[in-house]
């Protein structure tokens, strides 16, 4: 399991050691020789994008083909964990396999959000193969409208 | 087929497209399996719904073109980006004639599943061999 911190500018520097370890393990565990390794790069699946608005952080990940029960999102303080399994039906017998590029398997990734957030208000949706997690920022961080009173 | 390995992260492959649609397109991962009766094509198109994908069969060439239905909202400011966003495009030449009337296509959870039944006369015919007697 690799942990990535989102606090830039050194974003990613802190995970280098974990990345090395995982690449070693990957070489030992990989028995999918026939799979085309198109531009394989270091990293833990799934790749995520992180956005922010005034009121919330939004994390997105492309994880097509999951059924509801095969995806798990948990939040603990500052750490958001995505966990799941992608299943692909094995081909029937007596078929020719012309392409086999899609990957099935398990994934487990924890990311560190820029700050502690309120886990009660986190919302995760899965639409058309995309996971979107909306994480409200702590109230103190949101811009507060200051009422202007008229002076006498 | 082993399903328990960890999924590997791979870079999306952009296609240079000459077309009328603006924006980036990527080459989606597909599985293609051929049986005696049909081709089964499955493509990962995350972020695409059934309205956003077009499947065309022209003679022996199958084209898949898709645009995103799930996109970042304009108010979202990017903090960190590990994957790129764009449509998908892929073309295949199929060796057998397809019965276009019976093609079925389904989009679910960002996966396109296409059944392309072969035209009857192209399906292998099992010829029964009887004994010559005696």
The answer to whether A92 contacts B10, with C-beta atoms less than 8 Å apart, is: no
A109: chain B residues, CB-CB within 8 Å:
none
Residue B16 pLDDT:
73
Chain B residue with Cα closest to A38: B10
User: Cβ contacts of residue B108 below 8 Å, gap of 6+?
Assistant: none
- Kindly state the average pLDDT of the residues B109-125: 86
For residue A130, tell me if it sits in a domain.
yes
The whole-number pLDDT of residue B19 equals 60
Residue A20 falls inside a structural domain: yes
ipTM for this prediction: 0.83
B22 touching A, CB under 8 A?
no
Residue A135 forms part of a structural domain: yes
Q: How many domains are there within chain A? A: 1
The predicted structure's pLDDT at residue A78: 84
Section A142-149 average pLDDT: 71
Chain A residue nearest residue B37, CA to CA: A95
Q: Strand A105-112 to strand A123-127: parallel, antiparallel, or no bridges (unpaired)?
A: unpaired
Q: Judge contact between A44 and B9, C-beta under 8 A.
A: yes
What domain range is A123 assigned to?
3-28+42-90+103-139
State pLDDT tens for residues A8-32: 333 333 333 334 344 444 433 333 3
User: Would you say residue A12 lies in a domain?
Assistant: yes
A24-38, B8-22, B28-42, range with greatest mean pLDDT: B28-42
The per-residue pLDDT for range A29-46, each reduced to its tens digit, is 333 333 334 556 667 899
Nearby residues of A13 by Cβ (< 8 Å), 6 or more positions away: none
Two structure tokens written together for A32: 């999918």
Token representation of residue A29: 């565990």
How confident is the model over A136-144, as a mean pLDDT?
75
Instruction: Give all domains of chain B, ordered by start, each with its CATH number.
Output: 24-71+84-122 (2.60.40.790)
How high is the pLDDT of residue B18? 61
Secondary structure element (H or E) that encloses residue A20, with its range = helix A16-29
Contact A83, A1 (CB under 8 A): no
In a domain, A121, yes or no: yes
Residue A22 domain flag: yes
């Amino acid at each position: 399991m690799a942990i990535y911190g989102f606090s830039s500018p050194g974003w990613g520097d802190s995970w280098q050691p974990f990345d090395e370890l995982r690449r070693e393990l990957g070489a030992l565990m990989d028995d999918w020789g026939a799979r085309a390794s198109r531009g394989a790069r270091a990293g833990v699946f799934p790749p995520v994008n992180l956005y922010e608005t005034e009121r919330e952080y939004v994390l997105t990940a492309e994880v097509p083909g999951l059924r509801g029960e095969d995806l798990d999102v948990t939040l603990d303080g500052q750490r958001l964990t995505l966990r799941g399994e992608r299943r692909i039906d094995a081909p029937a017998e007596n078929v020719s396999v012309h392409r086999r590029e899609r990957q099935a398997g398990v994934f487990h990734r924890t990311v560190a959000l820029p700050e502690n957030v309120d886990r009660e208000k986190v919302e995760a949706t899965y639409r058309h193969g995309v996971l979107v997690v909306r994480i409200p920022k702590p109230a103190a961080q949101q811009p507060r409208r200051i009422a202007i009173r008229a002076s006498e | 087929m082993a399903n328990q390995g960890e999924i590997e992260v791979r870079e999306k492959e952009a296609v240079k497209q000459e077309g009328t649609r603006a924006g980036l397109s990527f080459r989606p991962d597909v599985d293609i399996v051929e049986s005696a009766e049909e081709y089964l094509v499955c493509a990962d198109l995350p972020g695409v719904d059934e309205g956003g994908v077009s499947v065309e069969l022209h003679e022996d060439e199958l084209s898949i073109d898709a645009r995103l239905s799930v996109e970042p909202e304009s108010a979202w400011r990017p903090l960190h980006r590990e994957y790129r966003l764009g449509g998908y495009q892929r073309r295949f030449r199929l060796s057998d004639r397809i019965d276009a009337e019976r093609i079925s296509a389904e989009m679910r959870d960002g996966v396109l599943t296409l059944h392309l039944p072969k035209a009857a006369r192209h399906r292998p015919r099992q010829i029964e061999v009887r004994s010559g007697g005696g």
